[in-house]
Structure 1
Amino acid sequence: MVKILKYTEYLYLVVAVASIYKIITLWAAAPKETYIFIFFAVVSLAMFFFRRKYRKRFEERARKKDN
């Protein structure tokens, strides 16, 4: 189950990178349309760090339970 949590972390990074790419490509043409992608990038990065923190906490708890 911990492996699944690790993969979902990186899915958030993929969404953030895709959003940042879209921001860069759209900025000159239509800056107002980039705000939604800025939101997605910020939320995705926040979720990445949030999920990472809790996955590590979950692993630590599982390690202590096994010992």
Structure 2
Amino acid sequence: MGYLKYTQYVYILFAVYFIYDGAIKLSENNEAYPLSFVIAGMAIFMFFFRRRFVKKFDDRNKKQ
């Protein structure tokens, strides 16, 4: 389960991409820019959720 420590950073990459995408759409006056920012917010939430999950998983393995 070592890959879980690294997959959480994929969410940060998604967030950066969707923030960039939202900024581009906002500057072009595209109506779909809020969706990009919502997806970026969800990706940031998932990063912290996944980080907390990995920490709990590691702590539980250390106790055993």
TM-score higher than 0.5 here?
yes
| Structure-to-structure mapping, 1:1-67, within 5 angstroms | 1=1, 3-65=2-64
Kindly provide the amino acid, as one letter, of the partner of residue 20 in structure 1: I
Moved over 4 A (4+): none
Gaps spanning 5+ residues in structure 1: where?
none
> Which of the pair is proportionally richer in helix?
1
Aligned to 2:28, the other structure's residue is in SS state coil
CA-atom RMSD, angstroms?
1.1
Structure 1 residue 30 displacement after superposition: 2.4
The size of the alignment, in residue pairs, is 64
**Aligned-partner Cα distance in 1 for 2:28–2:35:** 15
TM-score by length of structure 2 reads 0.90
Kindly provide the amino acid, as one letter, of the partner of residue 41 in structure 1: A
Aligned to 1:30, the other structure's residue is in SS state coil
Structure 1 residue 8 displacement after superposition: 1.6
TM-score by length of structure 1 reads 0.86
Kindly provide the amino acid, as one letter, of the partner of residue 49 in structure 1: F
Kindly provide the amino acid, as one letter, of the partner of residue 47 in structure 1: M
After alignment, is 19-28 or 47-56 more displaced?
A: 19-28
Percentage of identical aligned residues: 34
**Aligned-partner Cα distance in 2 for 1:39–1:7:** 23
